[in-house]
Amino acid sequence: MSGGKRRDGGRRESPGAGNRDSLAGGRKRQGGRAVNGQANNRGRQDRFASGREGRSGGAPSSLAGVPVAVGQSVACDIIGLTHDGEGVGRVEGYTLFVRGALPGERVRAEVGSIGKSFGRAWMTELLEVGESENKGEGEKIRVTPPCPIYEDCGGCQLQHLAYAEQLKWKREHVVNNLRRIGKVAVAGAEGAVAAGDGTLDGRPEAVVHPTIGMSEPWRYRNKAQVPIGSAGGNLVGGFYEKGSHEIVEMGACLIQVEENEKTVRIVKEAARLLDIPPYSRESGRGLLRHVVVRHARTTGQRMVVLVTNGRDIPRGEELVALLRESVPGIASICQNIQTAETSVVFGDETRTLWGEDVIYDEIGGIQFAISPRSFFQVNPEQTVQLYRKAVEYAGLTGEETVIDAYCGIGTISLFLARHAKRVYGVEIIPEAIEDARRNAALNDIRNAEFAVGPAEVVMPRWQAEGIAPDVIVVDPPRKGCDPALISTMLELRPARIVYVSCDPATLARDLKLLEDGGYRTVEVQPVDMFPHTGHVECCVLLVRK
Ligand X SMILES: C[S@@+](CC[C@H](N)C(=O)[O-])C[C@H]1O[C@@H](n2cnc3c(N)ncnc32)[C@H](O)[C@@H]1O
- Calculate the alpha carbon distances from 29 to 48, 69, 131 in Å: 29, 26, 12
- Would you say 172 and 166 are in contact if contact means Cβ atoms under 8 Å apart? no
Task: Give, in order, the Cα–Cα distances in Å from 273 to each of 119, 149, 319, 336.
Answer: 46, 26, 9, 21
Nearer to ligand X, 52 or 479 (CB): 479
Instruction: Give 296 or 455: the residue with its C-beta nearer to ligand X.
Output: 455
| Cβ count within 10 A of residue 297 | 15
Greatest CA span in the chain, whole angstroms? Answer: 72
- What are the two backbone dihedrals, phi and then psi, of residue 271, each rounded to the nearest 5 degrees? -65, -40
- Of the candidate spans 275-283, 428-436, 442-450, 537-545, the one that interacts with ligand X by CB under 6 A turns out to be 428-436
Which region, judged by CB under 6 A, interacts with ligand X, from 98-106, 266-274, 340-348, 448-456?
448-456
Between the alpha carbon of residue 53 and those of residues 48, 272, 292, the distances in Å are 9, 40, 34
> Could you say whether residue 475 binds ligand X (CB under 6 A)?
yes
Q: Work out the angle at residue 203's Cα, subtended by the Cα atoms of residues 200 and 206, and round it to the nearest 5 degrees.
A: 75
Determine what percent of the chain falls in helix, strand and coil, rounding each to the nearest 5: 25, 30, 45
Shorter beta-carbon distance to ligand X: residue 127 or 455: 455
Cβ proximity to ligand X, 284 vs 483, nearer residue: 483
Q: Is 463 annotated as a binding residue?
A: no
- Candidates 346, 231, 221; CA nearest to 291 is 346
**x/- contact string, 341-380, with ligand X (CB under 6 A)?**
----------------------------------xxx---
Task: Give 247 or 498: the residue with its C-beta nearer to ligand X.
Answer: 498
CB of 70 to ligand X, least distance (A): 40
Interaction of residue 448 with ligand X, rule CB under 6 A: no
User: Which has the closest alpha carbon to 496: 524, 470, 525?
Assistant: 470
Select from 23, 412, 448, 527 the one that contacts ligand X (CB under 6 A).
412
| Closer residue to ligand X, CB minimum distance, 375 or 499 | 375
Residues of span 496-515 touching ligand X by CB under 6 A: 502
Any idea what the Cα angle at residue 445 is, between residues 443 and 448, rounded to 5°?
130
Examine residue 455 and tell whether it contacts ligand X (CB under 6 A). Answer: yes
Nearer to ligand X, 241 or 482 (CB): 482
- Asked whether position 207 contacts ligand X by CB under 6 A, the answer is no
Give the separation between CA 529 and CA 525, rounded to whole angstroms. Answer: 12
Residue 362 annotated as part of some ligand binding site: no
Per CB under 6 A, 428 contacts ligand X: yes
Q: Whole-number minimum distance, CB 387 to ligand X, in Å?
A: 7
For the bound state, the minimum distance from the C-beta of residue 296 to ligand X, rounded and expressed in Å, comes to 14
CB 237 within 8 A of CB 268: yes
Query: Is residue 25 involved in binding ligand X (CB under 6 A)?
Result: no
Q: Given candidates 205, 427, 503, 515, which one binds ligand X under the rule CB under 6 A?
A: 427
Report if residue 525 touches ligand X, rule: CB under 6 A: no
Applying CB under 6 A, which part among 130-138, 165-173, 263-271, 470-478 lies near ligand X?
470-478
Nearer CB in complex with ligand X: 205/503: 503
Letter string b/e over residues 228-254, b meaning 16 or more CB atoms within 10 A of that residue's CB: bbbeeeebbbbbbbbbeebbbbbebbb
477 touches ligand X (CB under 6 A): yes
Task: Please list, in sequence order, all residues whose beta carbon lies within 8 angstroms of the beta carbon of residue 156, skipping any fewer than 6 positions away.
Answer: 145, 147, 150, 255, 532, 533
Cβ neighbours around 51 below 10 Å, total:
16
For residue 426, the minimal CB distance to ligand X (Å) is: 6
Q: Which stretch binds ligand X (CB under 6 A): 217-225, 246-254, 416-424, 476-484?
A: 476-484
Give Cα separations from 50 to 45, 54, 306, 404 (angstroms).
Answer: 9, 9, 31, 41
The 3-state DSSP class for residue 409 equals: coil
360 labelled as ligand-binding?
A: no
What is the residue type of 78?
A: I
475 among annotated binding-site residues: yes
Taking alpha carbons only, the member of 400, 415, 540, 411 closest to residue 469 is 400
| Binding segment (CB under 6 A) for ligand X, from list 66-74, 316-324, 404-412, 439-447 | 404-412
Give the number of residues in contact with ligand X, rule: CB under 6 A.
21
Instruction: Say whether residue 429 binds ligand X (CB under 6 A).
Output: yes
Q: DSSP states of 478-508 as a string?
A: TT---HHHHHHHHHH--SEEEEEES-HHHHH
- 454 near ligand X, judged by CB under 6 A: yes
Q: Closer to ligand X at the Cβ: 19 or 487?
A: 487
- Cα separation, 338 vs 72, in Å, equals 45
Among 411, 506, 521, 533, binds ligand X (CB under 6 A): 411
Q: Is 407 in the site for ligand X (CB under 6 A)?
A: yes
157 near 147, Cβ under 8 Å?
Answer: no
In the shown chain, the binding pattern of residues 103 to 122 toward ligand X, with x for contact by CB under 6 A and - for none, equals --------------------
Check residue 406 for interaction with ligand X (CB under 6 A). Answer: yes
- CB 485, min distance to ligand X, A: 8
Catalytic positions, written as ranges: 502
- Nearest to residue 531, comparing CAs of 101, 166, 140? 166
Q: Which residues make up the interface to ligand X (CB under 6 A)? A: 375-377, 406-408, 411-412, 426-429, 432, 454-456, 475-477, 482, 502
Task: List residues forming the annotated binding site for S-adenosyl-L-methionine.
Answer: 377, 406, 427, 475
